[in-house]
Structure 1
Amino acid sequence: MSSNHSATGEEAKRHRTEGPKKHIVAFVMSLALTIIAFAAVAAGEINTTFTYIIIVGMAILQVFVQMAFWMHMKDRGHVFPIIAILTGVFIVITMVIMATYWVWW
């Protein structure tokens, strides 16, 4: 029974140490990435292709920030959701490539 109690105590301790500090940092990072994307669009003097690259880059970074901090994918025990997400990404990329070749054919 003591081992079960200690596991619960460790889990509570881990959640206490996480605190709002990491959430505030993640929120600020999300805001910064969003502001960078909006600034790239607002500055009309930037090359359109470069603007698209900035927007896609900020979107990819935003996904990693959201998944790591808000969805807690960085914690242990999230192997199955990560595998499912990567499988979905692989299927979507495959479908986009197939559709592109089908249209060009």
Structure 2
Amino acid sequence: MSTVRTGGTHKSHSPKLYILGYLLSLVLTAISFVLALTHSMNVGPLIVLLTILGALQIFVQLFFFMHITEGDGPPFHSVLLLLGLIFTFAVALMSVWIMAFGTNVSY
């Protein structure tokens, strides 16, 4: 059992949480793999679903393995992480929008 030192106190992390996080990661990865491999739906909804599954995978990693909610002091790191995710998705979505609709512009 691993321990994290926070402000002079020890917090124990249950191995059950690590196992649960690992199993969730495996399930999310398997679902994504099967969906992408079988082409069981149209491309548009498939991309949206894979993006949602990827975002869930990020949250599983952050909360179960990186312990994002733990730590000393104000939760600035969580706010900054959320801001970084918003910027990342904004840039990615704007790039897709430009690639999809930029071809219709006449010069």
Aligned residues: 93
**Aligned with residue 50 of structure 1, among 16, 31, 45:** 45
C-alpha distance in 1 between matches for 2:78 and 2:69: 10
Counting strand residues as a fraction of each chain, which structure ranks higher? 2
Calculate the TM-score normalised by the size of structure 1: 0.69
Q: Which of the numbers 49, 66, 69 marks the counterpart of 2:64?
A: 69
Q: Which residue of 1 aligns with 2:14?
A: 19
Q: Are the structure 2 counterparts of residues 98 and 46 from structure 1 closer, same or farther at C-alpha, using a change threshold of 3 Å?
A: closer
Greater CA deviation, 90-99 or 33-42? 90-99
Is residue 88 of structure 1 aligned with residue 84 of structure 2?
yes
**Separation in structure 2 between the aligned mates of residue 38 and residue 98 of structure 1, nearest angstrom:** 26
Bigger mean CA offset, 59-68 vs 92-101: 92-101
Question: By how many angstroms is 1:33 displaced?
Answer: 0.2
Structure with bigger helix share is 1
User: Which structure 2 residue ranges, 5 or more long, are not aligned?
Assistant: 1-6
Deviation at 1:85, TM superposition (A): 1.2
RMSD (Å) for aligned C-alpha atoms:
2.6
Contact 2:25–2:57 under 8 Å retained in 1: yes
Which residue, 36, 46, 54 being the options, matches 1:41? 36
Q: 1:87 to 1:45 in 2, by over 3 A?
A: closer
Q: Stretches of 4+ moved more than 3 A in 1?
A: 90-101
C-alpha deviation, 1:40, in angstroms:
0.3
Q: Aligned pair in 2 of structure 1 residues 96, 24: CA closer, same or farther (>3 Å)?
A: closer
Counterparts of 2:40 and 2:93 in 1: how far apart (Å)? 32
